[in-house]
Structure 1
Amino acid sequence: MSSLLASLPREISHTLGSEPGFRGQQIFSWIHQKGSRDFDEMTDLPKGLRQKLEAEHTILPAGIDTAEEAADGTTKIRLKLNDGALIEAVLLRDTADRLTACLSTQVGCAMGCRFCKTATMGFIRNLDAAEIIGQLYLLETAAERSIDNIVFMGMGEPFNNYDQVSKTVQVLTHPEGRNMGQRRFTVSTSGIIDGIRSLGTDHPQVRLAASLVSADPATREALMPVEHKNPLPRLKEALMAYQQAGGRRITLEYVLLKGVNDRKEDPMLVRKFAHGLRCNINLIPWNPADGMAPVKLPQGKVLPLEEPDAKRVNWFREELENLGLTVVLRHRKGRGVNAACGQLATKGSAKNNSL
């Protein structure tokens, strides 16, 4: 059965065929304004239509398989999709009254970033928009309240599934449904230039976070294979174009790795890359994950992935600030349940979904 969760009103009306056109809007509002997850609750629909919907369609395309809560209140849920595939999503408690949903866009990931646990899964498949939106609503079930902001920072590269991410934004910003503002969304990318340009054209008010990790091309390519086809000079051009389109401040994410990208010369390289951009540097001390292989750096040097100590993190932050950059040190949330940045991964797939 197909899910109606990501269908716009006109699409629902088309699916219903001979039913009056306004039925699509009624159903859309029941799902996204009133939070209905059962067609039988839609009491202004004829009983026969409700029965037909129940027989042929679903609303949520997934269910919560497991949920874990860290001491800091971060909640990670594992979802089991209809084909048995497993994904993870995270509920972040930014403040006592503000919640953020960290959503996945793919099962696994094809980008191969050396410091990211999801990369060890490889790429399994894209999620459709219903499976992406379903994560939000299941997180709200866990939180027992609505969620304020959405970040596409979970499993997968959002711009490798751009159409479904774009559809998710269209559905959740629809004025006759959830009516969320575009500024409540953030897309995090490893640096897919075509995706950045598309976002600037289609959704210029959606916030953008780009993983820089190193402003030295050789080091960045050793850590992030995306650099090969999306080199830093072209990445900066795309970021500039995005900023000109919507005027939004950009976040440059910098995962700090001991001895790899925290060298004496690295802060100045970051400053040179950031010149001309209105941006924040989101400094993220690497979150350790099991089974991560050493990285082979330029000149053949091989180093294990290690978390920098607090002294080195503070030095790097101060160097960036002394160079005139705005730096935000990412708070460590969710590490106790492997829900922190770069730690999301499942041991299952559509073929093997056991832990």
Structure 2
Amino acid sequence: MNLPLSLYGLTSERLVESLSLPEKRYSGQILAWLGKGATTFDEMTDLPLDERKRLSDLVGSPISSETTVREEDESGTIKLGITLHDGKMIEAVLLVDRKGRHTACLSVQVGCAMGCTFCKTGTMGLVRNLASEEIIEQYVHLSKAASRPITHIVFMGMGEPFHNFDPTIRAIHYLNQKETFNIGLRRMTISTSGVVPGINKLAELKLPIKLAVSLVSADDSLRTRLMPVNKRWPLAELKEALLAYQESVPKRLTLEYCMLSGVNTTGESARQVELFTRGLDVIVNLIAWNPIDELEFSTPSEEEQKAFSALLNRYRVKHTLRISRGRTIGGACGQLATSHNPETKR
């Protein structure tokens, strides 16, 4: 019998098969407990005691990872360090906005191969992809840390979702299903650095999930220096994919724009953003770069941020100026990385 590392992500049929359940109805009861975030079989009190003991002896625990680090800032944002079954470590973040809404920010890889020059995760390189259950388990750990139910999920943690496409999509479906966590697809956002084949593949699925794309610059030369992905899929190809995506999934897109002081906040930068967004139904999400000691960029001042926002207003580009959360605990956009994963590949 091939025993599962984790019960999270398994269908009712797979639970029966993998655990040799004596009664099929037990699978529905187990799924319900997993939907409540169970991490031990002792919690599953509607299962017979001898069955709970058998399952515990068989697989040990329903979950394969554990929270080993927890940090919290003054806003209520929580960053968790999660140790996986093989000792590798990832980070996940619980974001709390001013209205108290709880959002889970999940990782999809240990490290990242994209090499974005302003992102700390990129300095790690890629160690390995996460299995769907390892993505789902982050939500479980964050739910236990949260003071109220998590209502939204963003796949914006460590890694490029479209370089781990199938496990990410499986995790999305599991988190969405009524038998477990019942998080609406419209309350999930998947973020990419601009991997065009992944955008095209997602369009084919026609999921009502939100798509965010890290733009950072609408100048090919500058974007290639900041984001090596642009060398493979330059802006013209990216825009073509986004136009096709909106033909298939008529939803507004988000373009993430990390503002780097003196680099991409000029009048010409704003004009190029306006040209890129023509014909697209998008909103540009302005994010001030979050400080990372190892990297030689600067966070724009409040005045510089407002000046760039005013330039976009002049060009009638729809945008928001996002308040970054988790910065003081290294849990904000671009700050996630761990030092416990020595085996790196590209």
Q: Do these two structures clear the TM 0.5 threshold for a shared fold by scoring above it? A: yes
Aligned match of 1:241: 244
Q: Which amino acid aligns with 2:95?
A: L
Out of 130, 154, 166, the position equivalent to 2:157 is: 154
Q: Is the 8 A contact 1:209 1:251 kept in 2?
A: yes
Q: Is the 8 A contact 2:71 2:329 kept in 1?
A: yes
Deviation of 1:48 after TM superposition, in Å, equals 4.1
**Are residue 341 (structure 1) and residue 324 (structure 2) matched?**
no
Q: Is the 8 A contact 2:15 2:21 kept in 1?
A: no
Deviation of 1:133 after TM superposition, in Å, equals 1.2
Q: Is the 8 A contact 1:84 1:350 kept in 2?
A: no
Aligned match of 1:112: 115
Deviation of 1:60 after TM superposition, in Å, equals 2.0
Q: Which runs of 5+ in 2 are unaligned?
A: none
* Cα distance in 2, alignment partners of residues 83 and 231 from structure 1: 37
* Cα distance in 1, alignment partners of residues 324 and 183 from structure 2: 27
**Are residue 176 (structure 1) and residue 213 (structure 2) matched?**
no
Q: Which amino acid aligns with 2:194?
A: G
Query: What percent identity do the matched residue pairs reach?
Result: 44
Q: Is the 8 A contact 1:2 1:56 kept in 2?
A: no
Out of 294, 297, 304, the position equivalent to 1:305 is: 297
- CA distances 1:148-195 after superposition (whole Å, capped 9, x unpaired): 100011111111111111011111111222222101110111001111
Cα separation, partners in 2 of 1:124 and 1:312, compared to 1, 3 Å? same
Aligned match of 2:39: 37
Aligned match of 1:196: 199
Residues paired across the two proteins, number: 340
Q: Is the 8 A contact 2:206 2:248 kept in 1?
A: no
| Runs of 4+ with deviation above 6 angstroms | none
Deviation of 1:82 after TM superposition, in Å, equals 1.4
**Are residue 216 (structure 1) and residue 219 (structure 2) matched?**
yes
133-142 vs 200-209, which deviates more?
200-209
* Cα distance in 2, alignment partners of residues 161 and 98 from structure 1: 28
Aligned match of 1:3: 6
Aligned match of 2:235: 232
* Secondary structure, aligned partner of 2:267: coil
* Cα distance in 1, alignment partners of residues 128 and 24 from structure 2: 34
**TM-score if structure 1 supplies the norm length?**
0.91
Q: How does 1:237-316 map to 2 (within 5 A)?
A: 237-292=240-295, 304-316=296-308
**TM-score if structure 2 supplies the norm length?**
0.93
Aligned match of 1:299: none
* Cα distance in 1, alignment partners of residues 127 and 280 from structure 2: 35
* Cα distance in 2, alignment partners of residues 256 and 51 from structure 1: 54
Deviation of 1:242 after TM superposition, in Å, equals 2.0
